[in-house]
Amino acid sequence: MFLEPHFKGQRSGWIEVICGSMFSGKTEELIRRLKRAKIANQRVEIFKPRIDTRYDDARVVSHDANSILSMPVEHSARLRVLAEGFDVIGIDEAQFFDMELPDVCQELALKGVRVIAAGLDMDYRGRPFGPMPNLLAVAEYITKVHAICPHCGNLATHSYRLTHDNADILLGEKDLYEPRCRACYQMGNILNLQA
């Protein structure tokens, strides 16, 4: 016997995650998907962590200066209220949000919202970054994008920090980070230890 779900007629939501190293096009892909949703007359909103002020306080900006107006958010719990009434929400720099983000995204998806989150999957130490592992675990769709290693031309999967500052979060651009493949990332870490 088939039992109909209690939310019959409700539009199904889901979670998409775009991940990769720095300079791999995560934000560019997020903006592209959100613009397509707008063209389809869907109600769209994008959020970013309040601490990310690298390019602009209120805009999500890709490294090649493509941008979209966003709403800075202090804590992921605020998304429960701020996402009300939208069909699609984007979340940029998801790694900088708190550990409650995956639960909030699941709640929104259950309400019929398409959630698209972009973020670094690993920190500069090569370890899973913030809420990203848990977000990846509950996502229906995952896109891993890659940069190109400037040292060998292979696919870059790591964000190599060019400074000896060991803060967990250090906002920066090409002055502080570069994308590297696994081998060049490891070689850089070995050379830093020897220096």
- Predicted confidence at residue 6, as pLDDT, reads 45
Q: Do residues 40 and 18 make contact, with C-beta atoms less than 8 angstroms apart?
A: no
Arch. (CATH architecture) of 14-145: 3-Layer(aba) Sandwich (3.40)
Q: Given the structure tokens 């920090």, which residue do they identify? A: 161
pLDDT (average), residues 55-73: 66
User: CA 60, CA 92: separation in Å to the nearest integer?
Assistant: 7
- Predicted confidence at residue 168, as pLDDT, reads 86
Q: Given the structure tokens 């775009």, which residue do they identify? A: 18
- Predicted confidence at residue 55, as pLDDT, reads 61
- Domain boundaries of the chain, sorted by first residue: 14-145
Q: Is the pLDDT of residue 7 over 90?
A: no
- Predicted confidence at residue 116, as pLDDT, reads 98
- Predicted confidence at residue 117, as pLDDT, reads 98
Hey, which residues are catalytic here? 93
Q: Give helix then strand counts, H and E, for the chain.
A: 5, 12
pLDDT (average), residues 112-118: 98
- Predicted confidence at residue 195, as pLDDT, reads 59
The chain-wide mean pLDDT, for the chain, equals 88
Give Dmax (Cα) for the chain: 69
Q: What is the pLDDT of residues 130-178, one digit of tens each?
A: 999 999 999 999 999 999 999 999 999 999 999 888 888 887 777 899 9
What percent of the chain shows pLDDT beyond 70?
A: 84
Q: Do residues 98 and 75 make contact, with C-beta atoms less than 8 angstroms apart?
A: yes
- Predicted confidence at residue 3, as pLDDT, reads 39
Q: Is the pLDDT of residue 52 over 50?
A: yes
Q: Is the pTM of this model over 0.85?
A: yes
pLDDT (average), residues 6-11: 55
Q: What is the DSSP string of 1-59?
A: -PPPPTTTTPPP-EEEEEEESTTSSHHHHHHHHHHHHHHTT--EEEEEETT--SS-SSE
Q: Which residue has the higher pLDDT, 103 or 11?
A: 103
Q: What is the pLDDT of residues 29-46, one digit of tens each?
A: 999 999 999 999 999 999
Q: Is the pLDDT of residue 184 over 50?
A: yes
Task: Kindly report the number of other CB atoms within 10 A of residue 74's CB atom.
Answer: 11
